[in-house]
Amino acid sequence: MTENRLDRETSPYLLQHKNNPVHWWAWGPEALAESKSSGKPILLSVGYAACHWCHVMAHESFEDDETAAVMNELFVNIKVDREERPNIDAIYMGALHSLGEQGGWPLTMFLDSEARPVWGGTYFPKQSRFGRPAFVDVLRKVARIFREEPDKVSETGRLLIESLQSTATVSSQPEIDDRMISDLTEKMVRAVDPVSGGFKGAPKFPQWSFFWLLWRGGVRYDQKPARAAVLTTLVNICQGGIYDHLGGGFARYSVDERWLVPHFEKMLYDNALLIDLLTEVFRETASPLFEARVAETIEWIEREMIADGGGFAASLDADSEGVEGKFYVWSLDEILGVLGAEDGRFFADVYDVTPNGNWEGQTILNRLSNLELGFNENEQRLAKLRHRLLDVRSKRVRPGWDDKVLADWNGLMIAALVRAATIFGHPEWLDLAKRAFEFVLKRMTVNDRLLHSFRDGRAKAPATANDYANMIWGALRLHEATTTRITLSRP
């Protein structure tokens, strides 16, 4: 009898599913051969360890014996960690977009025995809700179509493959010059929320590449609205609930338009890119807020995100004890109990802590009501109070930690740390970057070929273009910082 094979894997996400009653396969030739020999289509489920809705679907369906029985009867079921195999995820996420569906994780795709995509979606609930059909109903209907309408399935797969191939075709590009970039910078400002920054509406993602280009364009062409849009965005991100005011580090995105309520997972790459952008903007502004957030975030990286051997771990989960955000939120009574009445009230006034809370009866710490830093004396007092609360929080049940080391994400963090070390004058941050770089070179390179992922003593999955590009970026910055004598005066 076919069994769940995920206990043979190293990915924390795959290992989360090793005890499911679903007969999961990892991606590979054996799983594809099983589909061909059994005549069953493939159900491909893609997610990652810190994904909240991946956990929801797992608890509702993949841990349910009845649902698993239907999956096992009708499909060859394959689990993929999208961080471990970004190339696989990119193909099938592209197919989902070609179907006119909104992307996201968990990604649920149905494939034929040649691994060609036919149809899919993201999260499917166990019972019909949110305007989505029940997962078991979807399974049975899709299996019936595969069984009774093979010509239709084959044609759909062919059209999707053609669509993916056409989008991958390089088309002619316009000539990029100063005038084009200047005009683009001016137009980009219109997409930015003038009050809270970020793109207008919700949810809000930091969108590093957009705001990096907007900032560089604003500086190069002296466009004050562009610079102001970036500053508004970064100040709100740094003072909002998307930032962990006790432990440092930024959550992946905010579900609301004010940057108040985060999707609580913390990803290495988001923090690397925000460190880099904040450092770049600090060079022009000398903002003490940006300097503080960079230092606090790197302190979090050093404290909580270094895997065995010196590489940087991938992520921290959104959930602890099965509850989203439980590790991070507070009540007023808890604050007063830890800090006492006087200090507690002072802290609560600054960080929006109220009896009724600001999110589901609890409080997400934030400083959105007053975006400016206070007097130095008050900030020093707040720092001591945050340290006391952090010490108490450290005794809570922690979110899951995905300690796999990814070459592309490590390249981003190495590059960010080197630039921050140079600009802010912290040679110890350069040491962190060097150690991670050496880890990737020694433990994730086989026969002069880079591998993408490392965990539990094993490097696996071939490197992608992103791995090489980001590690080259980190290498170039390390080379500049360690071989060139650079004298910098702080702004």
Residue 172: per-residue pLDDT: 60
Q: Which domains does the chain have, with CATH numbers?
A: 6-168 (3.40.30.10), 178-483 (1.50.10)
Q: Exposed, middle or buried by CB within 10 Å (0-12, 13-18, 19+), for 240? A: buried
HSE, side-chain direction, 13 A CA sphere, residue 26: 19
How far apart (Å, rounded) are the C-alpha atoms in residues 106 and 123?
A: 6
User: DSSP assignment of 289-355, as one string?
Assistant: HHHHHHHHHHHHHHHH-BPTTSPBEEEE-SEETTEETTTT-B-HHHHHHHH-HHHHHHHHHHTT--T
Sequence-distant (6+) residues with CB within 8 A of 450 are 407, 440, 444, 463, 467, 468, 471
- Whether omega before 427 lies within 30 degrees of 0, making that bond cis, reads no
Is the Cβ–Cβ distance between 272 and 412 less than 8 Å?
yes
CA nearest neighbour of 23 among 35, 12, 11: 35
Which two tokens mark 434? 């060097």
**Would residue 115 be called left, alpha or beta, if left means φ above 0 and alpha means ψ between -120 and 50 degrees?**
left
Residue 303: per-residue pLDDT: 97
- Number of residues that this document lists for the chain: 491
Residue 175: per-residue pLDDT: 79
Collapsing DSSP states into helix, strand and coil, what is residue 197?
coil
User: DSSP assignment of 143-191, as one string?
Assistant: HHHHHH-HHHHHHHHHHHHHHHHHHHSPPP-PPP-HHHHHHHHHHHGGG
Which two tokens mark 352? 């929006």
CA nearest neighbour of 399 among 265, 263, 270: 265
CA nearest neighbour of 189 among 147, 225, 144, 148: 225
Is the Cβ–Cβ distance between 200 and 188 less than 8 Å?
no
Q: Exposed, middle or buried by CB within 10 Å (0-12, 13-18, 19+), for 213? A: middle
Per-residue pLDDT of the chain (491 residues; tens, 9 = 90+): 459 999 999 999 999 999 999 999 999 999 999 999 999 999 999 999 999 899 999 999 999 999 999 999 999 999 999 999 999 999 999 988 888 878 889 999 999 988 998 888 999 999 888 778 899 999 999 999 888 888 777 777 777 777 666 665 555 667 788 888 899 999 999 999 999 999 999 999 999 999 999 999 999 999 999 999 999 999 999 999 999 999 999 999 999 999 999 999 999 999 999 999 999 999 999 999 999 999 999 999 999 999 988 999 999 999 999 899 999 999 999 999 999 999 999 999 999 999 999 999 999 999 999 999 988 999 999 999 999 999 999 999 999 999 999 999 999 999 999 999 999 999 999 999 999 999 999 999 998 899 999 999 999 889 999 999 999 999 999 999 988 654 444 54
How far apart (Å, rounded) are the C-alpha atoms in residues 319 and 46?
A: 18
Is the Cβ–Cβ distance between 72 and 136 less than 8 Å?
no
